[in-house]
Amino acid sequence: MEAMAVVHDEYLPWGDENYRRNPYPWYDRVRQERPVYKMADGTYVVTRYDDITKYGKLPIMAIVDPEWVPKGPWTALSKTVLGVDPPVHTNLRRRTNKWFTPKLVQTWVEAAEKAANDALDRLELGQTVEANLELGVVPTHAAMCSALQLPTDNVSPVHQAMLAAMAALSSVASKEDDIRAAEAFAYLRERSIDLLSYKRANPGDGLADALIEAERVGEMTEEEIIQTISLFWGSGGHNPSFFVSSGIEYFARNPDLYRLYRERPDLRSGIQNELLRLNPPELSFVRYPTEDLEIRGVKIKAGERIRFILDAANRDPEVFQDPNILDPHRPVEAAQNLSFGIGPHACAGQVISRAEADTIFKVIADRVERIEMAGMPEYDTTDRSRAYVTLPVKFF
């Protein structure tokens, strides 16, 4: 009964197709009427920007599931930054953060720039291209592989594996979704073991080499390394490709904006921020407070589930004027969107994701006069995440 109640909830019907396609009318209502809303399954949902930025990053907000939560396929990454809390999380995060500084990232994104140029070199003007793969997934995956110093082959299977894995995070994921996600993680694990064998036979000075050295000196376990490679190699082209592809689609459907993007480099950073604000690839995150707390008069006990909806906060009218409009002149120093999350568990790859998108958009802007849709995109959308399956466009 609770599962059905969640699917058909009055405020947030997670499984409703109309909701998944366009959740914003529901967000508007729940944000106004029930900003801290307890669902039938006991989950507390928080939707206002100020509440999420205040409470979502509190040290008491644990990412580790309590014992009462059923274990799902994402336990395959339980020994990565996605599955542990400080201080273990802090130590793991420190090992990878230093590889994604703004200076180093500019080196990694050279691979994305080359892949994007290669894709455009293969095209004739007016030819239909699967833009999500060719200009989204392939270049961003290449940049992550550059950081790891790993081969860039088998891109499509990685993308398909991540689509299957993300589906299992939905609040209404089916048993079949969990099975497909488990198979996807098994594939990522097998490939990660193969890639580590390749690295041991072909040593270098990349992130994967640093992880292997950490194992050699006893600072990481083999399992932690396998899972970390699975996370970065597997997801390196997933969420960033959505950022790129959503921009390409927006430019195709709004030629005046694309013209402005090409002609006004000073506005590009602001436009990218707006694209991120309006189109986050991950819509929410879940935490479990380790202490009792109260949000807007609603008392929440330690260990209960709280879901913070970033997608709703990004369009909070109390924070963003005309929140549903992409405003290329919205001040960059204004309230920041929450698309990369907040607090200690904010996206570990946000610096490289922004740099990849900026680089790929620049390649397109320099070489393409206009973009047109060449068919209907296919999306993989749940209440928890968004991704493109296909994005057919034409470049002129």
Q: How far is CA 208 from CA 148, 192, 198, 225, 227, in A?
A: 5, 10, 10, 8, 12
Average pLDDT rounded to a whole number, residues 365-380: 97
- Res. 122 pLDDT band, cuts 50 70 90: very high
For helices 350-367 and 268-278, angle between their N-to-C axes, nearest 10 degrees: 120
Q: Against a cut of 0.75, is the pTM above it? A: yes
| pLDDT tens profile 130-139 | 999 999 999 9
The angle formed by the CA atoms of residues 366, 367 and 372, to the nearest 5 degrees, is: 115
Residue 113 has pLDDT above 80, yes or no: yes
User: CB count, 10 Å around CB of 39?
Assistant: 20
Round to whole Å and give the CA distance between 117 and 62: 42
Residue 333 has pLDDT above 80, yes or no: no
Q: Which residue has the tokens 């599962």?
A: 3
Asked whether the beta carbons of 57 and 344 are under 8 A apart, the reply is yes
Which residues, in sequence order, are CB contacts of 146 under 8 Å at separation 6+?
A: 107, 108, 110, 111, 206
Task: Report the pLDDT value the prediction gives residue 99, as an integer from 0 to 100.
Answer: 94
Task: Report the pLDDT value the prediction gives residue 293, as an integer from 0 to 100.
Answer: 97
Task: Report the pLDDT value the prediction gives residue 7, as an integer from 0 to 100.
Answer: 75
Residue 3 has pLDDT above 70, yes or no: no
Task: Report the pLDDT value the prediction gives residue 5, as an integer from 0 to 100.
Answer: 67
Q: How far is CA 384 from CA 7, 159, 249, 305, in A?
A: 13, 17, 21, 15
Average pLDDT rounded to a whole number, residues 299-320: 97
Average pLDDT rounded to a whole number, residues 3-24: 88
The distance from CA 303 to its chain's CA centroid, rounded to whole angstroms, is 26
Task: Report the pLDDT value the prediction gives residue 4, as an integer from 0 to 100.
Answer: 58
The angle formed by the CA atoms of residues 240, 341 and 288, to the nearest 5 degrees, is: 130
Residue 335 has pLDDT above 80, yes or no: no
Arithmetic mean of pLDDT over the chain: 95
Q: How far is CA 200 from CA 80, 222, 236, 280, in A?
A: 21, 13, 21, 37
| Omega of the bond leading into 87 within 30 degrees of 0 (cis) | yes
Task: Report the pLDDT value the prediction gives residue 334, as an integer from 0 to 100.
Answer: 66
Sequential DSSP letters for 204-271: -SSHHHHHHHHHHTTSS-HHHHHHHHHHHHHHTTTHHHHHHHHHHHHHHH-HHHHHHHHH-GGGHHHH
Residue 153 has pLDDT above 90, yes or no: no
Average pLDDT rounded to a whole number, residues 34-62: 97
Q: To the nearest whole percent, how much of the chain has pLDDT over 90?
A: 92
Q: Which residues of 181-197 are buried (b: 16+ CB within 10 A; e: fewer)?
A: bbebbebbbebbeebbe
- Res. 298 pLDDT band, cuts 50 70 90: very high
| pLDDT tens profile 218-248 | 999 999 999 999 999 999 999 999 999 999 9
Classify 51 as helix, strand or coil. Answer: helix
Average pLDDT rounded to a whole number, residues 378-386: 96
- Res. 348 pLDDT band, cuts 50 70 90: confident
Asked whether the beta carbons of 303 and 67 are under 8 A apart, the reply is no
Residue 1 has pLDDT above 50, yes or no: no
Task: Report the pLDDT value the prediction gives residue 310, as an integer from 0 to 100.
Answer: 97
- Res. 12 pLDDT band, cuts 50 70 90: very high
Average pLDDT rounded to a whole number, residues 256-283: 96
Which residues, in sequence order, are CB contacts of 328 under 8 Å at separation 6+?
A: 257, 260, 261, 264, 267, 270, 271, 274
Length of the chain counted residue by residue: 396
- Res. 281 pLDDT band, cuts 50 70 90: very high
78 is written with which tokens? 């339980």
- Res. 331 pLDDT band, cuts 50 70 90: confident
Element (H, E) at 131: helix 131-131
Round to whole Å and give the CA distance between 74 and 246: 26
| pLDDT tens profile 63-79 | 999 999 999 999 999 99
Domains and CATH numbers, the chain: 2-395 (1.10.630.10)
Residue 2 has pLDDT above 60, yes or no: no
